[in-house]
Amino acid sequence: MLVLLPPSEGKTAPAGGDPIDLASLSHPSLTEARRRVGDALAKVSGQRNALKVLDVGASLAAEVARNTTVWTNPCDAAARVYAGVLYDAASMSSWDDATLTRAASRLRIVSALWGAVSPADPIPAYRLSMGTTLGRLGGLAAFWRKRMADELDTLADGGLVVDCRSASYIAAYHPSAPWVTVRVMREQDGKRSVVSHMAKRTRGLLAAHLMRADEAPKSAQDLADAAAGMIGNSLVDVALTAKAKAPDELTLVIAG
C-alpha cells in the first residue's frame, strides 16, 4: 500500500536547524529536478511580479520572500513543517518511531517543490503550489509527471495506492498500480454535500489510521474494511465504487 497526501499550503517555519541536504531526501534520483525547481522558485520569488506568478495575495509576501533563501533556511521533518487541517487531524508531528517507520514505505507527500517526500524527510518551509508555472520549467504538474512516475510506481510495487490528493496534485502522478481515490461527504438532514474543511480532516484521520495498522490493505475492499473501523468515531458510512476506468472511489461519510 502507498498513501498519497497533498502538502499543506501553510507551513510551520523551523526556528533552527541545518539547511536542506537534497541527497538526504527520499528518492535521491529526483535531486537534480528538485534543484531546478528550487532555483527557479528562489529567482521568481525575488522578482516584482512574484506574488502574481505564485498566485498569492499580499498577506503572504513574507512567505514568498522566504523562498529566495530556500537553500539556506533551516529544516525540520516534513511531518512538522506541513501544517493545517489534514496534518493536525493526522497528528503527524507526534507520530512515534514505529508509525514513522511504516510511513517511510507506506506514505508520500506530493510536493510542487520536492516531488515527493516522506514525513521524516527534513525540509524548509516554502510557498509554492502544483498549479504554478515556473518560467522555462513550465507547469509544475507536467514537470513532475515526467520525473516522478517511475519513483512512486517502484515504491508502490504493484500494491494498492490510496490517493488523498487534490486535483492539481493528482495531475502530477497517475499510479499504474491499483488506485483508489478518497472522497468525503457530509450527511445532514438526509442530504450529502462536500465540505472542504471536514474532507481534509477526515483524510488526515484515515492516513493516520492506515499508518498505525500492522497490516496494510492489499485491495480496494481491504481499504474499505479498514476505513470501516473508523465508523462510530469519525464516520457514519463507507462506500466503495468500482469504476470502469481507474481509479476506484472510496467515499467516507461523516455526520453533519
Query: Domain spans of the chain?
Result: 2-255
Q: Are 125 and 37 in contact (CB under 8 A)?
A: no
Give pLDDT tens digits along the chain (256 positions).
Answer: 999 999 999 899 999 999 999 999 999 999 999 999 999 999 999 999 999 999 999 999 999 999 999 999 999 999 999 999 999 999 999 999 999 999 999 999 999 999 999 999 999 999 999 999 999 999 999 999 999 999 999 999 999 999 999 999 999 999 998 999 999 999 988 888 988 889 999 999 999 999 999 899 999 999 999 999 999 877 999 999 998 887 999 999 998 7
How much is the pTM? Answer: 0.95
Query: Quick one: three-class SS letters along 164-209?
Result: CCCHHHHCCCCCCCCEEEEEEEEEECCEEECCHHHHHHHHHHHHHH
